[in-house]
Structure 1
């Protein structure tokens, strides 16, 4: 493959991974969320709650994107937002019981997707792949 097609290949691969992960979500019974919501569920489960700004940083998304994700998740009862006592402009998002259950399903779907991603790669190839992705990702830091 020629170097100039790398961007195209990365883009097509990302699309295929997202499509595969969405199907895995459906198999797990999650039919109302997309993979981007899975990242929110995962992050909130690790920290037991985060502000919008904290989530945006962890997920490498803009505050407005995180707000849109949380709006839908709150409407669907996966998360709730708690207003800060110190600063009424600050809200912390936390998982509901439904969100905690969905998080476990997201983890299973993600594990299956990772198994497919790494299929046919030996441990050294996996490590090299991750190192290269991290290096490429850092090339675009703003």
Structure 2
């Protein structure tokens, strides 16, 4: 008989289900972009979406909104500049700050992702009622809050 103090029923906890689902979402995003010949990653699409919503964000705010640290965001932005999706411009008030803008090509690329994203959302939410969808969102929010409150105590 297993000692109750040492046994962890990891397989029946939320963690592996969140992890596997996240990996599946990432995989199908990338496969969908590839199948439509879109030279884009999910992370790049998220940056395009954020800039589509608010062009000219500074890198600090963009890092916060995309849940990335500054150095990984910088690497991502360099790749996106090479693809001509974005450009960075020094802030007029504070020369240490760079604002990030969509190029016309970046705007076109984001528009091309919309049908792909719609299809992915439709696939993801198939056979899930509006009530179930709201429950899932609420549960994810609780998990995020749990981790954020834990991070405050670290």
TM over 0.5: yes
Contact 1:42 1:107 in 2 (8 A): no
Structure-2 residue corresponding to 1:111: 118
- What is the root-mean-square deviation in Å for CA atoms of aligned residues? 1.6
Alignment of 1:1-142 (within 5 A): 4-5=10-11, 6-31=14-39, 33-141=40-148, 142=151
- Give 1 or 2 for the bigger CA radius of gyration: 2
Higher RCO by CA contacts (8 Å cutoff, separation 6 or greater): 1
Deviations 1:66-107 (A, max 9, x none): 111101000110000011122221110100011001111223
Asked if structure 2 preserves the Cα contact closer than 8 Å seen for 1:25 and 1:105, the reply is no
Contact 1:37 1:73 in 2 (8 A): yes
Gaps of 5+ in 2: 1-7
CA distance in 2 between counterparts of 1:81 and 1:51 reads: 9
Q: CA–CA distance in 2 between the matches of 1:16 and 1:68?
A: 24
User: In the alignment, which residue of structure 1 is the partner of 2:4?
Assistant: none
The number of aligned residues is 140
Aligned-partner Cα distance in 2 for 1:53–1:3: 39
